[in-house]
Structure 1
Amino acid sequence: MARFPRCLRRNCNVTTDKLARFMEQYKSRVEALLLQSARKKETPQRLGEAMMYSLEAGGKRVRPLLLYAVLDCFRTAPEKGDAAACSLEMIHTYSLIHDDLPAMDDDDLRRGKPTSHRRFDEATAILAGDALLTRAFQLAADDRENSDEKKIRLLQLLTAASGAEGMVGGQMEDMQAEEQTEITSSELAAIHDHKTGDLLAVALQMGGVLSDCTEIEQSQLDRYGRCIGLAFQVKDDLLDVEGDEAEIGKPVGSDETNNKHTYVRLMGIEGAREFLDQLLRDALDALGHIDADTEILSDLARYIAQRTA
């Protein structure tokens, strides 16, 4: 069984030296690859600028980090995951551009900077998101590091996680839920399992495919991913009421202002904290069933649950 170490205590420093080095190494790696992959001479200048603006806006690069962590866990060469890591981050970035649009969340700031439609215009932002989405699948299809069989499997996973049955469907459910006066915790969890969890979980599944994991290992990686996907959202909800505006890059209390359904609204602050701790325990328990070095994955779970931004 997985161990539940003292790092489960709130406010402890979960960014260990090993995790910090790992995050710095692979965050730099994927960012360099992203810019290299996104720059194409044939792209119209304004569209290219909008694509680069959002890709260079920063962020934690959690999805690529999770994929590389699985490769590290099973001693798989990192270059096997480069195309998949870039694809994941491009899809995530496109989703943020579209989420910020006036027709959706109508946000003015993203990571402390003007959102794409504010920096450029609404039509350019839509097209930049579209371009990043399609470039993501082009990258995955053109991957020269892996066999055709693996590329097909990775594309199957990626399309399922990002499409109507996954992230896009979760966004639709989230928008529809905003029209409801009340919502249950299980309904909210189902929404975020798709909206946030699917793309986090698929990063782990793709790493498992690239590492030739067994069915049992894949199922536990998926379980871990679902737990940290919900944990990510619960922590976001908590940061919206108790975070530092300068760190989180948007006004504190925006969820309440926009009358959004959140775990804090449903459970209260303490209830949301307890739920977050349970999700972290469940994620670590899933790793305890994998016979490999899961230290980085364990530390990433703690980082996601206990981050301040």
Structure 2
Amino acid sequence: MVATDNVYKTPEEATFNLALYLKKRQKLCDTALDQAIPIVYPEKIYESMRYSLLAGGKRVRPILCLATCEMIGGTIEMAMPTACAVEMIHTMSLIHDDLPAMDNDDYRRGKLTNHKVYGDDVAILAGDGLLALAFEFVATQTPQTVDRARVLQVVARLGRALGAAGLVGGQVVDLESEGKSNISLETLNFIHKHKTAALLEACVVCGGILAGASSEDVQRLTRYAQNIGLAFQIIDDILDVTATQEQLGKTAGKDQRAKKVTYPSLWGLEESRLKAQELVKAACAELEPFKERAEPMVAIAHYITSRNH
């Protein structure tokens, strides 16, 4: 298979090179995000927004958005504004999640959290600024060649994924559940389907919508994303137990200290790993109709369960 965007550098590279693919896509996303927020007056708020947005990270969410758009037949250019918006929303959630009123964490991606550098007040406003910019960016930066009805669908889906029906709702139940030992698997699934999987689902489905995905394709993409979203969270829970602070880039063992019910606390480590692998297998099965065009998304799904940081 030969990629049209030179992901494969030579004809000899017959198999998909995920590491090279991720490296190139990450660079594209980092460049676009850097250009999205210039520093102007009042400088402090833009510096704070950039501090967390450009602090590193794997860029899995924007890369999934781009990959889905390409798989359905679209281009990187038509999906990049939405990919950037998704990362802005994700970064906002991390800034707010780290605040003393929430998870109260001092480190994120190996650096001091936003509120530790800029104070709680500016950190809250930086998250708000990123959130507002995300929707503005989709509306104003998506190429005019993309049907405006599709752009409107993207805005609506991002809003739902973020709000009380998505990330915010999941966070509320997560906070209410902290310190309680009788949390059921149903409640734990609710938390992470909303807090983690909802935004991943929006990344994937919005990328497809921009490229003109059919309703059947959207259903397949939704199931793929929900499965990898839950697998992503299970692996995060495992890493909180097994990884070091250096590997995680944030405080290790916080779930246990906060007495949070997690997948390993319910199932054990080995069973949790098996469940994550089953979810990834089910996710990849949804992409079979797309054949070789789905190669990047299949590889990313497997990457989620094999990561150690």
Once the two structures are TM-superposed, the CA of residue 54 in structure 1 deviates from its matched residue by 0.3
Aligned to 2:132: 134
1:72 aligns with 2:44: no
Aligned to 2:34: 35
Aligned to 1:13: none
In 1, the alpha carbon distance for the partners of 2:236 and 2:61 equals 16
**Aligned 8 A contact 1:220 1:289 in 2:** no
Aligned to 2:89: 91
**Aligned 8 A contact 1:193 1:230 in 2:** yes
1:294-305 superposed matches below 5 A: 294-305=294-305
**Residue 193 of structure 1 aligns to which amino acid in structure 2?**
K
In 2, the alpha carbon distance for the partners of 1:251 and 1:118 equals 14
In 1, the alpha carbon distance for the partners of 2:159 and 2:136 equals 12
**Aligned 8 A contact 2:179 2:259 in 1:** no
In 2, the alpha carbon distance for the partners of 1:267 and 1:50 equals 39
Structure 2 stretches lacking a partner, 5+ long = 1-14
Once the two structures are TM-superposed, the CA of residue 288 in structure 1 deviates from its matched residue by 2.0
Taking structure 1 as the reference length, what is the TM-score of the superposition? 0.91
Question: Quick check: 260-269 or 16-25, which moved more?
Answer: 16-25
2:268 partner SS? helix
In 2, the alpha carbon distance for the partners of 1:159 and 1:221 equals 18
Aligned to 1:224: 224
In 2, the alpha carbon distance for the partners of 1:200 and 1:131 equals 21
1:146-225 superposed matches below 5 A: 146-225=146-225
In 1, the alpha carbon distance for the partners of 2:206 and 2:234 equals 24
Aligned to 2:50: 52
Once the two structures are TM-superposed, the CA of residue 84 in structure 1 deviates from its matched residue by 0.3
Once the two structures are TM-superposed, the CA of residue 250 in structure 1 deviates from its matched residue by 2.3
Once the two structures are TM-superposed, the CA of residue 307 in structure 1 deviates from its matched residue by 0.6
**Aligned 8 A contact 1:143 1:151 in 2:** no
Aligned to 1:242: 242
Alignment equivalent of 2:112, drawn from 96, 105, 114? 114
In 2, the alpha carbon distance for the partners of 1:46 and 1:40 equals 9
**Residue 46 of structure 1 aligns to which amino acid in structure 2?**
K
**Aligned 8 A contact 1:109 1:250 in 2:** yes
Once the two structures are TM-superposed, the CA of residue 291 in structure 1 deviates from its matched residue by 5.4
In 1, the alpha carbon distance for the partners of 2:117 and 2:203 equals 30
In 1, the alpha carbon distance for the partners of 2:286 and 2:73 equals 19
Q: RMSD of aligned C-alpha atoms?
A: 1.4
2:278 partner SS? helix
Question: Quick check: 204-213 or 66-75, which moved more?
Answer: 66-75
**Aligned 8 A contact 2:181 2:259 in 1:** no
Aligned to 1:20: 19
Taking structure 2 as the reference length, what is the TM-score of the superposition? 0.91
Question: Quick check: 205-214 or 86-95, which moved more?
Answer: 205-214
In 2, the alpha carbon distance for the partners of 1:190 and 1:36 equals 36
1:230-269 superposed matches below 5 A: 230-269=230-269
**Aligned 8 A contact 1:54 1:116 in 2:** yes
1:250 partner SS? coil
